[in-house]
Amino acid sequence: MTREHLVHQIVVKKSFLCVGLDPDMKKIPAHLLQYDDPIFEFNKAIIDATSDLCVAYKPNIAFYECLGRKGWQSLEKTMDYIPQSMFTIADAKRGDIGNTSKKYADTFFEYLDFDAVTVAPYMGIDSVSPFLEYTDRWVILLGLTSNQGSDDFQQMKDSNGIPLYEKVISKAQEWGRPDNLMFVIGATHPDSFGTIRAMAQDYFFLVPGIGAQGGDLDMVVKSGRNPDMGLLVNSSRDIIYAGSGTDFQNDVRRKAMELQQKMAAHITL
């Protein structure tokens, strides 16, 4: 998907919401367990309830891999069901030596036809560049993540007081462009958003951490937006597990709509 198409969807839907499709067999509504593929049925219901309210879906690959062959089949069926107009993100956090990264890129871009994949930058350019070779596909590089452990390495400072995540974001802009590279920036670091936006003015940020992890949407938009909005704000648990009954889709839609309406107030494109 091109950047222009993504921005168009944000304007048309008045939303920059990304819904995380992280299905847990222990958490999905019990009545779905009677189906041959409960994971797909769950995802299908989520998509039906939210596709007019969001611009992106982000399956977390671990929730499918852990189920073996059936999990991959559920993922394939889910990808086939997601409307073509949606931006799709494989939350896989891959990153390995070049020939291995090439195979990961083939998996997610050719076989599964995702628009984007999350990539870990620790091994440097040769682990990232194979993903950047694809036209109209995106690398979403881990920058400053929302988890507590981000303190362990990402915020370590050098002798000049520059944290590692700033070096990663600066260096990566030598590898990719604003039309094929995004950064993961967690909403749990509101004080850093302004600095990061100044460093990467034209780039999109994928923002986890709103809702269950305590991030604040208004603060993220205030400090992190750019002229194209430049944000995809992800919500997973808060939306997909908003209900547990046979009518859980209604609760899912209500929760997604609450967030979309808050976003609409910020859309001035």
Would you give per-residue pLDDT tens digits along the chain (269 residues)? 999 999 999 999 999 999 999 999 999 999 999 999 999 999 999 999 999 999 999 999 999 999 999 999 999 999 999 999 999 999 999 989 989 999 999 999 999 999 999 999 999 999 999 999 999 999 999 999 988 888 889 888 888 999 999 999 999 999 999 999 999 999 988 888 999 999 999 999 999 988 766 678 999 999 999 999 999 999 999 999 999 999 999 999 999 999 999 999 999 87
What pLDDT, on the 0 to 100 scale, is given for residue 191?
A: 86
Whether 35 maps to a domain, the answer reads yes
What pLDDT, on the 0 to 100 scale, is given for residue 188?
A: 87
Rounded-to-integer distance, Cα 51 and Cα 57, Å: 9
Whether 269 maps to a domain, the answer reads no
Whether 243 maps to a domain, the answer reads yes
Q: 152-157: long-range contacts at Cβ-Cβ below 8 A with a sequence spacing of 24 or more?
A: none
Question: For the whole model, what pTM was predicted?
Answer: 0.96
What pLDDT, on the 0 to 100 scale, is given for residue 137?
A: 98
Whether 153 maps to a domain, the answer reads yes
Determine the straight-line distance between the first and last CA of the chain, rounded to whole angstroms: 19
What pLDDT, on the 0 to 100 scale, is given for residue 98?
A: 83
What pLDDT, on the 0 to 100 scale, is given for residue 212?
A: 63
What pLDDT, on the 0 to 100 scale, is given for residue 210?
A: 81
Rounded-to-integer distance, Cα 79 and Cα 261, Å: 26
List active site positions.
93
What pLDDT, on the 0 to 100 scale, is given for residue 213?
A: 65
Whether 177 maps to a domain, the answer reads yes
Whether 167 maps to a domain, the answer reads yes
What pLDDT, on the 0 to 100 scale, is given for residue 226?
A: 96
Q: How many domains does the chain have?
A: 1
Whether 128 maps to a domain, the answer reads yes
Residue ranges making up the domain that contains 41: 3-264
Q: Which pairing describes strands 56-59 and 17-21: parallel, antiparallel, or unpaired?
A: parallel
DSSP the chain: --HHHHHHHHHHHT--EEEEE---TTTS-GGGGGSS-HHHHHHHHHHHHHTTT-SEEEEBTHHHHTTHHHHHHHHHHHHHHS-TTSEEEEEEEE--SHHHHHHHHIIIIIIS--SEEEE--TT-HHHHHHHHTSTT-EEEEEEE-SSTTHHHHTT-B-TTS-BHHHHHHHHHTTT--TTTEEEEE-TT-GGGHHHHHHHSTT-EEEE--BSTT-B-HHHHHHHH-BTTB-EEEEE-HHHHTS--STTHHHHHHHHHHHHHHHHHTT---
What pLDDT, on the 0 to 100 scale, is given for residue 259?
A: 96
CATH code of the domain in which 124 resides: 3.20.20.70
Q: Dig out the tokens for 198 from the structure.
A: 């100044």
Whether 54 maps to a domain, the answer reads yes
What pLDDT, on the 0 to 100 scale, is given for residue 131?
A: 97
